[in-house]
């Protein structure tokens, strides 16, 4: 409705995850790097967690959009599935008929499918979304599926994406074997104020916006404060703001216009008043004034100069990100080189046989 009014060729703030609108914030870049790294390793589990609406599914869809033909990828969104139900769902996602078959029969058929895939020079990838819904026994079943191997190489690899509740599940004492197979894990945090602004501008320009600044700095600050930097909340609010602008024939948005829309949304969606809980305000306070905080480590040591350690930790994280990115690129290069050499070897061997 508002697209033509603002000269857009697509809806910039739709709720359905679209890889074409993927915005790589610092944390989303890291999650994507971990997924690509895990993919290049062809073994182990990658775990990506994040609060509701932080973009876990968007990251997964972006990975699937870039995936090569030698990987047969399947994605499942999990309700509370028992181990038997999970095996059936996984098999069906790989186009295996499970009607009237026992779990043992399905597992055998799945093993044969994975083996045949491997003989074709391909492998299977399973992305499990909303993995926090799975009971411990079903997560353990995923680990058992990773035992399908050929010449010491796993025939199937799994990536788990879930809300923050997935973390304590994986920390359970009886999940030690699963934890040992986790190659990397990452938690998606909400966007910062600057990233929120960049996110909005990126999606607008990607949808065809070519005009001057559409929002004032005050408007961006109100959007960020209300959405707390959660991408899905930003999309929901921005869609309403753009519709409001169309109906009111606005050419730009200031803080007052955004506040009017926020008041409407609060009334309709029963949004709690700010300051109603500790959990949302405390992390922001710590982030803004880390030097005023004291931390006690699990060993009982007290750290007072927290800002120094946080800065040092941030530098270390950035260095690790660079190292992972470099290793991913190197692994991808070696992988392409090996595939090229293998094709040459097959061609020469077939030539020898024909002679």
pLDDT, residue 241, reads 94
- Please check whether residues 109 and 178 belong to one and the same domain: yes
pLDDT score of 288: 47
Is 201 found in the same domain as 74? no
Claim to verify: residue 121 and residue 49 sit in the same structural domain: yes
pLDDT of residue 227: 94
Token pair of 74 as six digits: 């399947």
Is 288 domain-assigned? no
52 in a domain, yes or no? yes
Cα–Cα dist 219/256, whole Å = 8
Domain shared by 166 and 88, yes or no: yes
Range of the domain at 80: 26-188
87 and 223 assigned to the same domain? no
Which pLDDT value is given to residue 280? 39
Burial class (CB in 10 A: 0-12, 13-18, 19+), 7: exposed
Question: Which candidate, 288, 285, 291, places its Cα nearest to that of 308?
Answer: 291
CA distance 336 to 300: 49
Q: What pLDDT score was predicted for residue 115?
A: 94
Q: Is residue 3 part of a domain?
A: no
Q: What is the pLDDT along the chain (355 residues), one digit of tens a residue?
A: 788 888 888 899 988 777 778 887 888 888 888 888 888 888 889 899 998 888 888 888 888 888 878 889 998 987 788 999 999 999 999 999 999 999 999 999 999 999 999 999 889 999 999 999 999 899 999 999 999 988 888 899 999 999 989 999 899 888 999 999 998 888 888 999 999 999 999 999 988 888 888 999 999 999 999 999 999 999 999 999 999 999 999 999 999 999 999 998 888 765 555 544 443 334 444 444 555 555 555 554 555 556 655 666 666 666 666 666 666 666 666 667 777 777 777 777 777 666 6
Do residues 76 and 173 share a domain? Answer: yes
In a domain? residue 147:
yes
Give the domain-ending residue among 250, 270, 290: 270
Residue indicated by tokens 């002679």: 355
The three-state (H, E, C) secondary structure of the chain, written as one string: CCCCCCCCCCCCCCCCCCHHHCCCCHHHHHHHHHHHHHHHHCCCEEEEEECCCCCHHHHHHHHHHHCCCCEEEEEEECCCCCHHHHHHHHHHHCCCCCCCCCHHHHHHHHHHHHHHHHHCCCEEEEEEECHHHCCHHHHHHHHHHCCCEECCEECEEEEEEECCCHHHHHCCHHHHHHHCCEEEEEEECCCCHHHHHHHHHHHHHHCCCCCCCCECHHHHHHHHHHHCCCHHHHHHHHHHHHHHHHHCCCCCECHHHHHHHHHHHHHHHCCCCCCCCHHHHHHHHHHHCHHHCCEECCCCCEECCHHHHHHHHHHHHHHHHHHHHHHHHHHHHHHHHHHHHHHHHHHHHHHHHHC
Q: Which of 152, 170, 188 is the last residue of a domain?
A: 188
Residue 186 CB partners (closer than 8 Å, separation 6+): 27, 30, 31, 34, 47, 48, 49
**43: which 2 tokens?**
């073994």
User: How many angstroms separate the CA atoms of 122 and 70, rounded?
Assistant: 4
Question: Number of structural domains, the chain?
Answer: 2
Alpha-carbon torsion 319, 324, 327, 332, what sign?
Answer: negative
Specify whether 216 is located in the same domain as 72.
no
35 and 181 in a single domain? The answer is: yes
| Same structural domain, 108 and 234 | no
Q: How many other β-carbons are positioned within 10 Å of the β-carbon of residue 302? A: 8
In a domain, 319, yes or no: no
Residue count (the chain): 355
Same domain, 35 and 184: yes
In a domain, 72, yes or no: yes
Task: Report yes or no on 128 lying in a domain.
Answer: yes
Residue where one domain finishes, among candidates 254, 270, 286: 270
CATH number reported for the structural domain that contains residue 39 in this entry: 3.40.50.300
- Given this model, what pLDDT does residue 318 score? 65
In a domain, 302, yes or no: no
69/166 same-domain check: yes
Task: Give the pLDDT score at 204.
Answer: 93
Is the same domain home to 39 and 133?
yes
CATH number at residue 264: 1.10.8
């Amino acid at each position: 409705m508002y697209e033509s009014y603002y000269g857009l060729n697509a809806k910039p703030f739709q709720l359905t995850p679209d890889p074409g609108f993927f915005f790589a914030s610092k944390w989303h870049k890291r999650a994507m790097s971990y997924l690509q790294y895990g993919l290049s390793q062809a073994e182990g589990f990658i775990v990506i967690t994040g609060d509701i609406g932080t973009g876990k599914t968007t990251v997964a869809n972006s990975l699937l959009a870039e995936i090569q033909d030698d990987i047969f990828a399947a994605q499942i969104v999990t309700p509370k599935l028992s181990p038997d139900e999970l095996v059936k769902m996984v098999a069906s996602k790989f186009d295996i008929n499970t009607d009237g078959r026992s779990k043992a029969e399905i597992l055998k058929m799945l093993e044969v499918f994975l083996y045949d895939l491997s003989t074709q020079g391909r492998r299977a990838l399973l992305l499990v979304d909303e993995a926090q819904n799975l009971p411990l026994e079903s997560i353990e079943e995923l680990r058992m599926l990773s035992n399908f191997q050929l010449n010491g190489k796993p025939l199937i690899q799994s990536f788990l994406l879930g809300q923050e509740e997935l973390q304590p599940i994986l920390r359970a004492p009886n999940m030690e074997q699963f934890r040992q197979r986790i190659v990397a894990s990452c938690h998606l945090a909400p966007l910062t104020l600057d990233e929120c602004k960049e996110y909005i501008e990126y999606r607008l320009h990607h949808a065809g916006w070519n005009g001057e600044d559409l929002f004032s700095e005050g408007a961006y600050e109100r959007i960020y404060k209300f959405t707390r930097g959660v991408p899905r909340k930003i999309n929901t609010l921005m869609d309403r703001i753009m519709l409001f602008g169309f109906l009111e024939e606005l050419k730009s948005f200031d803080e007052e216009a955004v506040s009017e829309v926020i008041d409407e949304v609060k009334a309709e969606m029963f949004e709690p008043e700010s300051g109603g809980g500790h959990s949302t305000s405390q992390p922001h306070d710590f982030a803004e004034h880390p030097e005023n905080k004291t931390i006690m480590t699990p060993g009982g040591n007290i750290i007072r100069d927290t800002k120094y350690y946080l800065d040092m930790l941030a530098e270390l994280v950035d260095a690790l990100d660079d190292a992972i990115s470099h290793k991913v690129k190197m692994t991808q290069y070696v992988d392409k080189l090996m595939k090229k050499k293998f094709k040459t070897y097959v061609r020469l061997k077939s030539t020898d046989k024909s002679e």
